[in-house]
Amino acid sequence: MPESGEHNWPGDEFGSFLDRLGAREEESAHLLDRLPVIIYASELGENGRWRYVSPQVEEILGFKPEDFLSDPSLWARQVHPDDRLRALAVESHDALGNRDTRPVEYRMYTAAGRIVWMLDEAVLEPDAAGVPVWHGVLYDISERKTAEIDLQRSLAQQAVVARLGERALKNGDPEALMRDAVALIGELDGVERACIWEVARDGRRLNLRAGLDDTMLGSGRRISAGRESHAGTALDAGVPVIVPDWSAEERFTMPPAVRALGASSSLAVLIDGKDRPFGVLDVHSGERGRFDPKDVPFLEASANVLADTFERHAADKALRHRVLHDALTGLPNRLSFVDSVDDALGRASVSGSPVGTLFLDLDHFKLINDSLGHHAGDALLRAVAPRLRSHLRPGDIVARFGGDEFGILIDRLADDAEAVAIAERVASAFAQPFSMQGVDHYVNASIGIAVARLADGGSTNAELLIRDADAAMYRAKEGGRNRSVLFDAEMRATAARRLETERDLRGAVEREELELRYQPIVNLRSGEVTGLEALVRWRHPTRGLLEPRDFVSIAEDSGLIEPIGRWVQDRAARQILEWHELRPDARPLDVAVNLSARQVAHRGLAANVAEVIARTGLDPVHLRLEITETVLVEESAAAIASLEALNELGVRLVLDDFGTGYSSLAYLNRFPFHALKIDRSFVDTLGVEQEGTAIVEAVIGMARALSLDVIAEGVEKEIQLDELRRLECDYGQGHLFHEALRAEEISRLIATDSLDYSGISSTR
C-alpha cells in the first residue's frame, strides 16, 4: 500500500510525469505495472469509454482491467452514492487542456463490496482525433482517509466532552445537563441518538431519563438491567458494550426503544457513582459497525461528566437538606421558612392574593421539659410536627424555628378570616392528648397570625411578616394562652413604633439624651426623707420627654438596657454623693436604682456595679438596687448568682413591685433582700377594700418577721398614709409626698431645708 500523502503531487510535476510516460513507451509500461496506483485513460463523461487501465486495478478494486474496458458504466456504478456528485463534477469540457485540475476524493466499492477511498488526479487532453480523454491516476488513500476521519471524529468528540464539561460547571442541574448531553452527543456524525438510562431503586430496570422523550412512552422507557440487554451488561459488568449490528446480534435482545430508533449499531457505557452506579449512557447509529473501541473513551468521558454532576448534585442536596432542616423533627428550619415566605411573597406580588404566616408556640412546654425530661420534650416536638402537617393543606409549609416554636406558611389566602379559620384548625391538632411515657398529656398552643396583603400596595418581607406573627403570638400568650390572635393594624403601628424607638435609642446614652428623676422615699414615722429612687427619662429629640414604659422594654429586648443601666447607676451614684456634700451633717441619703430582669440575668452586672462603686467612691450601703419580682419567678441560676454577688458587694437589694408576681413571702428568705416594696395596686386599696388592706397588713407582718424593711409605693392619698401608719409600714413614696423630681429641684429642696415631709411630723 502506498504511503498516504505522497500522492498529492502538484499538478505540474504530475504533468511532466505524463509527458515522460508518453516519451518513453517501453520503460514506462514497465514502470506502470510496478506503481501501487491505477493509471487510466478514459473518455469524458459519466459513462465515457475506458481506453486503458493498469493491472493494479485488480489488486485495489478487485476488477480486471477488461471489466472496465468492456463496461463504460462500471466506474460510475462503483462510486459511493454519497460521493457521486462530487466525483462527476469534473466531467466537463471546461477541464480540457487545464493542467491545474484539482484531484477529487471519493469512495468506491470494490468488487467484494468493501469501501476504498480513491484520490483521482487527471488531466483532460484531446487525442489525435480531438476526442477529450482523461489521463489519470487513482490512488488508494483509504488508510490516510480513515486516519483523517478518525482524527476528525475524535476532535468532534473532544469538543462534545469539553462543551459538556463547560455546561456542567455552569449549571449543575442534572436534568438540564442530561438534556444537553444527549443533544450534544446526538449531533456527532453518524450518531442517531444518545440516551441516558437510570438504574431503578430495585436495581432491576433501567429507566429512560433523556434522549427519547419525544418518541417513547410507557414500557418503551424501560430496559432490563440484566445481562440480556446491552445496557444492562454495561451496568452489570461495568464494561463498555458495542453492538456492531443489531440484525446479527445474538447476545442481547433489541429493546423496543432501540428498535423504534431504527438503530443498526449501538455502544453503551456505565455512568458510575461513588456508592452505586447511576445508570448507562448509550449511543445509536443507523449505520452498521458505526462504533468501535476508539469511540469508548469519548463516551466514557461524557459519562464521567454526568457522573460527577450527579454526584455533586446529590452532595449539594444532602448539604442543603442539612442546612435547611431541623434535625429533630425533619421539618424545614427557620432559614428555609424565611426563603419559602419570601418566595410566596414574590408570587403574591404578581397574583395579588394574600400570604399568611402563623407563629405557633406550645404552652408550658418548659414544664414538660423540666418535669419529664428533655427526651420527653423532644418526643413531644417530634409528635407535634406530623399533627400540624395533617391539619394543613398540601401547599402549606410547617417549619420548626427552634425550641417549641413553629412557623406555618399559608400560601394563597382569600382573606384574614380564612387565616384565622386555618389557625383554629391548627389549634384543633391539640385536641387529642399526646402520649408520653405511657401517660396522656394535653398540650395547647398559642398562635399568632399575620397576613400580608400586597394587593393594597403594601410591601413587606418574610422577616417582617414572621415578626408580626410573633408579636401576635405574644398577645395570645398575654391573653391567657391556648388561643390565636391576628396581628392587626394597631399592633402593626405599635411594632413599627417599637422598631423606630429602638433605632432612636441606639446612641441615646452617647448623645446624652437620658436624664434621671428622683423620687424621695419618706420614713413614715419621722417624715424624714431617707433616700431617693432614681427613675430614668429619655429626652427624645422629636417626641419630647419619654417615660420608662415608652422605652425600657424595648431597651431590654434589644440589649440596650445594659449600657443604659450602667449610665443610670453611674449618674445616680455621682448625684447622691453631691447631695451628701450639700448636707454634710445629715444622715447620708440612699439612692435606689432599678434593675430589669434582663439586667439581673446579665453576667457582668455585679462587676459593673463594683466598678461604679470604685469609680465614684460611694459607700455601697447607700446604693439600693430594686429588682422586680418576676426575676425570682424565673429563678434562673444566672439571676441568683447575680443577686448573691451583689449582696457580697455590700449593696442593698430591694424587691420591687411586691405582690404582682407569684413569689410567696416564705420563699423570700432564700434571697438576700434587705427590703420589699409593696406594689402600688395594693396601696390603692388601702382604706377602700377590706381584703386589700388585709393583704397589706399580712405582708407587713411577715416582712417584719423576716427582718425586711417595707416600703409602700404610689402613696397618693391621706387615707392611704393613715392606713400605712396604722399598719406600721416603715417607708413610703408617692405623689402625696413628692413626684419624681429633677435633680436641681431636689438640690433646691435640700438648700432650703425643705426635703422632709413635714406633714407627717406634724401629725405625730
Interacting residues toward Mg ion by CB under 5 A: 594, 626, 656-657, 713
Locus of grid cell 504511503: 3
Shortest Cβ 535–Mg ion spacing (Å):
7
Shortest Cβ 735–ligand C2E spacing (Å):
4
**CA distance linking residue 17 with residue 175, whole number of Å:** 62
φ, ψ of residue 737 to 5 degrees: the values are -90, -70
Shortest Cβ 360–ligand C2E spacing (Å):
31
Shortest Cβ 495–ligand C2E spacing (Å):
21
Closer Cβ to ligand C2E, 657 or 756, answer by number: 657
**CA distance linking residue 211 with residue 183, whole number of Å:** 8
Shortest Cβ 736–ligand C2E spacing (Å):
7
Closer Cβ to ligand C2E, 332 or 565, answer by number: 565
Cα-only R_g, the chain: 49
Count CB neighbours of 371 within 10 A: 11
Shortest Cβ 579–ligand C2E spacing (Å):
18
The type of residue at 410 is I
Shortest Cβ 709–Mg ion spacing (Å):
14
Shortest Cβ 632–Mg ion spacing (Å):
15
Q: Which three cell numbers stand for residue 311?
A: 454526584
Closer Cβ to ligand C2E, 17 or 567, answer by number: 567
Closest listed residue to residue 199, CA positions, set 305, 266, 252, 270: 270
**CA distance linking residue 395 with residue 92, whole number of Å:** 75
Shortest Cβ 354–ligand C2E spacing (Å):
39
Q: Which three cell numbers stand for residue 190?
A: 453518524
Q: Which residues pair with 331 in a beta bridge?
A: none
Shortest Cβ 546–ligand C2E spacing (Å):
10
**CA distance linking residue 709 with residue 653, whole number of Å:** 11
**CA distance linking residue 711 with residue 626, whole number of Å:** 11
**Binds ligand C2E (CB under 6 A): choice among 78, 309, 594, 642:** 594
Closer Cβ to Mg ion, 300 or 656, answer by number: 656
Q: Quick one: what does residue 18 bind among ligand C2E, Mg ion, none, with the CB cut-off 5 to 8 Å set by partner type?
A: none
Size of the site for ligand C2E (CB under 6 A): 23
Please identify, among the stretches 164-172, 219-227, 350-358, 709-717, the one whose residues bind ligand C2E according to the rule CB under 6 A.
709-717
Q: Any idea of the CA torsion for 173, 179, 180, 182, to the nearest 10 degrees?
A: 140
Burial class (CB in 10 A: 0-12, 13-18, 19+), 88: middle
Q: Quick one: what does residue 595 bind among ligand C2E, Mg ion, none, with the CB cut-off 5 to 8 Å set by partner type?
A: ligand C2E
Closer Cβ to ligand C2E, 211 or 734, answer by number: 734
Shortest Cβ 324–Mg ion spacing (Å):
46
Closer Cβ to ligand C2E, 285 or 733, answer by number: 733
Closest listed residue to residue 668, CA positions, set 638, 632, 692: 632
Q: Which three cell numbers stand for residue 629?
A: 419580682
Ramachandran area for residue 213 (φ above 0: left; ψ -120 to 50: alpha; else beta): alpha
Q: Which three cell numbers stand for residue 409?
A: 406558611
CA atoms in the 13 A half-sphere facing the CB of 54: 21
Q: Quick one: what does residue 273 bind among Mg ion, ligand C2E, none, with the CB cut-off 5 to 8 Å set by partner type?
A: none
Shortest Cβ 489–Mg ion spacing (Å):
32
Residue 487: partners with Cβ closer than 8 Å, 6 or more residues away = 448, 449, 450, 451, 468, 469, 471, 472
The residue at minimum Cβ distance from Mg ion is: 626
Closer Cβ to ligand C2E, 44 or 683, answer by number: 683
Site for ligand C2E in 712-741 (CB under 6 A): 713-716, 733-735, 740
Q: Which three cell numbers stand for residue 88?
A: 462527476
**Binds ligand C2E (CB under 6 A): choice among 596, 616, 642, 663:** 596
In terms of residues, how long is the chain? 764
Shortest Cβ 548–ligand C2E spacing (Å):
3
Site for ligand C2E in 626-655 (CB under 6 A): 626
Closer Cβ to ligand C2E, 420 or 561, answer by number: 561
Q: Quick one: what does residue 531 bind among Mg ion, ligand C2E, none, with the CB cut-off 5 to 8 Å set by partner type?
A: none
Closer Cβ to ligand C2E, 381 or 552, answer by number: 552
Closer Cβ to ligand C2E, 343 or 611, answer by number: 611
**CA distance linking residue 579 with residue 556, whole number of Å:** 30
Shortest Cβ 549–ligand C2E spacing (Å):
6
The type of residue at 367 is L
Closer Cβ to Mg ion, 466 or 655, answer by number: 655
Q: Quick one: what does residue 596 bind among ligand C2E, Mg ion, none, with the CB cut-off 5 to 8 Å set by partner type?
A: ligand C2E
Q: Quick one: what does residue 274 bind among Mg ion, ligand C2E, none, with the CB cut-off 5 to 8 Å set by partner type?
A: none
User: What binding mask, one character per residue, do residues 489-508 give for ligand C2E by CB under 6 A, x or -?
Assistant: --------------------
Angle ∠(177,182,184) on CA atoms, nearest 5: 90
Q: Which three cell numbers stand for residue 362?
A: 406550645
Q: Quick one: what does residue 407 bind among ligand C2E, Mg ion, none, with the CB cut-off 5 to 8 Å set by partner type?
A: none
Angle ∠(141,147,153) on CA atoms, nearest 5: 130
The type of residue at 536 is V
Shortest Cβ 454–Mg ion spacing (Å):
45
Closer Cβ to ligand C2E, 371 or 681, answer by number: 681
Closer Cβ to Mg ion, 138 or 601, answer by number: 601
Per the CB < 8 A criterion, the answer to whether 199 and 277 are in contact is: yes
Q: Please report the sign of the dihedral spanned by the C-alpha atoms of residue 44, residue 47, residue 53, residue 57.
A: positive
User: What binding mask, one character per residue, do residues 559-578 give for ligand C2E by CB under 6 A, x or -?
Assistant: ------x--x----------
User: What binding mask, one character per residue, do residues 257-286 give for ligand C2E by CB under 6 A, x or -?
Assistant: ------------------------------
Per the CB < 8 A criterion, the answer to whether 596 and 628 are in contact is: yes
Q: Which residues pair with 406 in a beta bridge?
A: 360, 400
Q: Which residues pair with 39 in a beta bridge?
A: 137
**CA distance linking residue 600 with residue 639, whole number of Å:** 5
Closer Cβ to Mg ion, 527 or 548, answer by number: 548
Closer Cβ to ligand C2E, 60 or 561, answer by number: 561
Q: Quick one: what does residue 521 bind among ligand C2E, Mg ion, none, with the CB cut-off 5 to 8 Å set by partner type?
A: none
Shortest Cβ 754–ligand C2E spacing (Å):
19
Closer Cβ to ligand C2E, 452 or 535, answer by number: 535
**Binds ligand C2E (CB under 6 A): choice among 150, 213, 547, 718:** 547
Per the CB < 8 A criterion, the answer to whether 267 and 242 are in contact is: yes
Locus of grid cell 453631691: 578
Site for ligand C2E in 608-627 (CB under 6 A): 626
Per the CB < 8 A criterion, the answer to whether 155 and 137 are in contact is: no
Q: Quick one: what does residue 734 bind among ligand C2E, Mg ion, none, with the CB cut-off 5 to 8 Å set by partner type?
A: ligand C2E
Closer Cβ to ligand C2E, 348 or 568, answer by number: 568
Q: Could you report how far apart the first and last alpha carbons of the chain are, in Å?
A: 139
Shortest Cβ 518–ligand C2E spacing (Å):
10
Per the CB < 8 A criterion, the answer to whether 139 and 2 are in contact is: yes
**Binds ligand C2E (CB under 6 A): choice among 192, 657, 723, 730:** 657
Q: Which three cell numbers stand for residue 26?
A: 517501453
**Binds ligand C2E (CB under 6 A): choice among 263, 344, 452, 552:** 552
Count CB neighbours of 567 within 10 A: 17
Which residues lie near ligand C2E (CB under 6 A)?
A: 519, 535-536, 547-549, 552, 565, 568, 594-596, 626, 656-657, 713-716, 733-735, 740
